[in-house]
Amino acid sequence: MGDGHVFLRRLDIPLPQALKAKGSWIEDTQGRKYLDASGGAVVVNLGHGREEIATAVYNQILKCHYAHPTMFTTPVVEELAKALVKHAPVGIDRFYFLSSGGEAVETAIKMARQIHIETGQGKKVYLISRWKSYHGLTFGALAASGRAFFRTPFVPMLPEVVHIHPPYCLRCFYGKTYPGCDLRCAIELEQTIQNLGPETVCAFLAETVSGASLASYPPPSDYWPLIREICDRYNVLLILDEVMCGMGRTGKWFAVEHYGITPDIIILGKGMSGGTIALSAVGVQSKYFEIFRQSKTGFVHGGTYSHHPVAAAAGLATIAIMERDNLVDRAAKTGAFLGTQLTGRLEAHPQVIDVRGIGMLWGVELAKDKETLEPFPRRDKVIEQVWNYLFKEGIITYRSTGLAGTHGDALVVAPPFTIDRNDIEHLVDTIAKAVKIIFG
């Protein structure tokens, strides 16, 4: 829409033009203000308008704004890797820098495949991922994603990826109840590996905490330890996608810290630069890095904007702010308050079937019937009605659909870690008002 020349992300409605932003608020060209209660697409973790990041970027542009990564490394890229290793899971001590989360997912998949080739296990070709997941929209990342809306138009063009069911206890795909289920969804990974043939399975890729596709659904505490055991048993590399749930979002620097394991490869993005400049990363254990270093070909991959010094400056400044202001701990504490407010105000409503989350990553799922969990038909566009009401009231959230087959509706609430409690109360009050007005 509009009279300009931009191919916009949304074509069904005219979009307001964001003019300026500060803290948790965005202002458009008409002077309307919006509380950014989802950090855009769960990106803005430090709040808008951080002068320290702007200064770091400005200084780096003047110092050295580009050096091709096959010809040079740069001090700022080296420092960013060092800063990440300081907080990373034990053993993750090499980082490959890119621009987008999808690009990082593609990189991680290639890493896993080449690790097996270099170690004489070239038959390991299958990637396993999960339904109700999102890993990006480039072909490799989309093939791994388990979100039908994005996949369906391009299925004939996608490489083969095998999908299993996610840990979604509210709507258990096996009709079981945790913990009496014995983690059937994790056991499915082992059975799938066996059915494919362990000698053919390369890696298992999944979000540590399910993000937009399942509206912030943390798995049971013993899910990842069991998955780690299964991957080790069959020499399958474990790749964790923390593009959305990493960088402090769950109240830990890395979401996997909640589960006490270390993946073979980990993927970061979104909040790495607080949303200021496109930046992502793939972290890998040193033993795998050594495989690439000793290879005759090295890592067969690359990109013009990989290891970019200006993006690295933004990332390094972001980490410095998080450390200085203790923002990961703040995310844990403020997130607990946010969760208590959401639960207290919404849980009793007949159409709110679940409020769940961790740290500053929360989901509110809606359905037609609370007892049977019958979803609203997708044609009713229920979550769009809720989202549109909130947006008109100056509250930005993130939508999630397709949680129950092709149906299902939920909101993702994931504000900047710096949001104050008055704004949280205003946010929750407005969501409660929206639910009451739309559903009665």
**Which residues pair with residue 20 across a beta bridge?**
27
- Distance (Å, whole) CA 214 – CA 400: 7
361-366 vs 407-413, strand pairing mode: antiparallel
What is the pLDDT, as a whole number, of residue 440? 84
Tens digit of pLDDT at every position of the chain (440 positions): 457 899 999 998 999 999 999 999 999 999 999 999 999 999 999 999 999 999 999 999 999 999 999 999 999 999 999 999 999 999 999 999 999 999 999 999 999 999 999 999 999 999 999 999 999 999 999 999 999 999 999 999 999 999 999 999 999 999 999 999 999 999 999 999 999 999 999 999 999 999 999 999 999 999 999 999 999 999 999 999 999 999 999 999 999 999 999 999 999 999 999 999 999 999 999 999 999 999 999 999 999 999 999 999 999 999 999 999 999 999 999 999 999 999 999 999 999 999 999 999 999 999 999 999 999 999 999 999 999 999 999 999 999 999 999 999 999 999 999 999 999 999 999 999 999 999 98
**What's the Cα-to-Cα distance from 240 to each of 88, 166, 284, rounded to whole Å?**
13, 13, 11
Sign of CA dihedral 394, 400, 406, 408: negative
Which contiguous run of DSSP H or E holds residue 104?
helix 101-118
What is the pLDDT, as a whole number, of residue 1? 45
Sheet with 361-366: list strands edge to edge.
352-358, 361-366, 407-413, 398-404
* Closest by Cα among 134, 184, 198, 63 to 412: 134
23: left (phi over 0), alpha (psi -120 to 50) or beta: left
Which residues are within 8 A (CB) of 278 and not within 5 positions of it... i.e. 6 or more apart? 99, 100, 305, 311
| Residues 165 and 173 sit within 8 Å (Cβ to Cβ) | yes
Q: Which residues of the chain form CATH 3.40.640.10?
A: 51-324
Cα radius of gyration (the chain) = 21
Q: Which residues of the chain form CATH 3.90.1150.10?
A: 18-49+326-439
For residues 113-127, b (16+ Cβ closer than 10 Å) or e, as one string?
Answer: bbbbbbeeeeebbbb
Which listed CATH number (3.40.50.300, 2.100.10.30, 3.30.70.250, 3.40.640.10) goes with 51-324?
3.40.640.10
For residues 289-301, b (16+ Cβ closer than 10 Å) or e, as one string?
Answer: bebbeeeeeebee
CB pairs under 8 A, 24+ apart, for 68-73? 68/304, 69/302, 69/303, 69/306, 69/307, 70/302, 73/307
- Residue 29 has which token pair? 């060209």
- Residue 32 has which token pair? 């309307």
Q: What is the DSSP letter of 96?
A: E
Reported pTM: 0.97
**Which residues pair with residue 128 across a beta bridge?**
162, 204
* Position 103, amino acid: E
Which superfamily does 18-49+326-439 belong to?
Answer: Aspartate Aminotransferase, domain 1 (3.90.1150.10)
